[in-house]
């Protein structure tokens, strides 16, 4: 999965476009989460445009990789990325959280069968991903694809998260790769003030996981982390991806108050102006 400089440029451009779509969606909806989706845009972009084995024209392709979103409240970034990847029209993004829309405030497979799981209750996604990995072992398919699970750091306050961690470690689920959005915030404040998670890497290691820590905004380093995870055969892997909540909009960055609120018209206008300026800089820096 070699990343050329040309490919990195295209990923940077796409991630910036996805952030613009997130702001536009949230403004139109008048509700939703801002910090997490902006912070995870680079990771989603890398996966959907470089790493995942998937086919937007055949979303239920049996041999696809599985991407389970555990922290479903950051679904604006999932929807925006999937739309940009060609799963459904970009215009549909403006229906986020509206009555009758497929794009609900948490992903729902009944409305969107090409998402891998319905999510909402935090901590449940890892258990769902563990079940998928175990099913692939039973079906003798664990060498054919990877099961990825995206999680928030705040949901590690949930006890059922650690039940999934323990079960996966016990069963040495080598095709299971977890990516934690380590942005250090949750709805009530900073994670280390509410329920300290550190030493986070040591906790996962103690449950027989291979642990990698990296930047969630450096495409090259994140891609290397995924390649390393794919090469581990004796245990599951967790990638602790350090991210900046609200990434790309200076006013939103690192402020936990943006965890669960959308921008108003003025804030959205300023955010889009900043992102469009950044998009221009990305292009000029690579010319």
Of 144, 196, 201, the closest CA to residue 178 belongs to 201
Ranked by mean pLDDT, the top range of 1-5, 58-62, 282-286 is 58-62
Tokens of 89: 């029209």
pLDDT digits (tens, 9 = 90+) for 114-166: 999 999 889 899 999 999 999 999 999 999 999 999 999 999 999 999 999 99
User: What local confidence, expressed as pLDDT, does residue 283 receive?
Assistant: 67
Please compute the mean of the pLDDT values over residues 91-109 and round it to a whole number: 96
Tokens of 38: 């902006």
Please say whether the beta carbons of 254 and 190 come within 8 A.
no
Running DSSP on this structure, what letter comes out for residue 182?
Answer: E
Tokens of 121: 């209750």
Please say whether the beta carbons of 36 and 73 come within 8 A.
yes
The yes-or-no verdict on residue 259 having pLDDT over 70 is yes
pLDDT band at 278 (very low <50, low <70, confident <90, very high): confident
Tokens of 126: 């890892």
User: What local confidence, expressed as pLDDT, does residue 120 receive?
Assistant: 82
User: What local confidence, expressed as pLDDT, does residue 281 receive?
Assistant: 80
Q: Where are the domains of the chain?
A: 5-285
CB atoms within 10 A of CB 77: 27
CATH code for residues 5-285: 3.40.50.970
Q: DSSP letter string over 31-84?
A: -S--HHHHHHHHHHHHIIIII----TTSTT-TT--EEEESSGGGHHHHHHHHHH
The yes-or-no verdict on residue 22 having pLDDT over 70 is yes
């Amino acid at each position: 999965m070699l990343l050329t400089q040309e490919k990195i440029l295209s990923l940077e451009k796409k991630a910036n476009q996805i952030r613009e779509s997130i702001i536009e969606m949230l403004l139109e909806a008048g509700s939703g989460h801002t910090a997490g989706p902006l912070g995870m845009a680079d990771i989603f972009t890398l996966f959907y445009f470089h790493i995942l084995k998937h086919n937007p024209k055949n979303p239920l392709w049996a041999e696809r990789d599985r991407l389970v979103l555990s922290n479903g409240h950051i679904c604006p970034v999932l929807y925006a990325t999937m739309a940009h990847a060609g799963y459904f029209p970009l215009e549909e993004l403006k229906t986020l959280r509206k009555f009758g829309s497929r794009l609900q405030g948490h992903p729902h497979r009944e409305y969107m069968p090409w998402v891998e799981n319905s999510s909402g209750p935090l901590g449940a996604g890892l258990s769902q991903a563990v079940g998928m990995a175990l099913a692939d072992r039973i079906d003798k398919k664990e060498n054919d694809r990877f099961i990825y699970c995206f999680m928030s750091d705040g949901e590690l306050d949930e006890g059922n998260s650690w039940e999934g961690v323990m079960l996966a470690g016990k069963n040495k689920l080598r095709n299971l790769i977890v990516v934690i959005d380590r942005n250090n915030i949750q709805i009530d404040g900073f994670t280390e003030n509410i329920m300290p998670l550190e030493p986070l890497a040591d906790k996962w290691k103690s449950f027989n996981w291979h642990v990698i820590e990296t930047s969630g905004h450096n495409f090259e380093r994140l891609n290397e982390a995924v390649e390393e995870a794919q090469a581990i055969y004796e245990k599951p892997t967790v990638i602790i991806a350090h991210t900046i909540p609200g990434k790309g909009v200076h006013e939103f960055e690192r402020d936990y108050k943006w965890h669960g609120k959308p921008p108003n018209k003025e804030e959205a206008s300023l955010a889009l102006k900043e992102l469009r300026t950044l998009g221009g800089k990305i292009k000029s820096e690579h010319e």
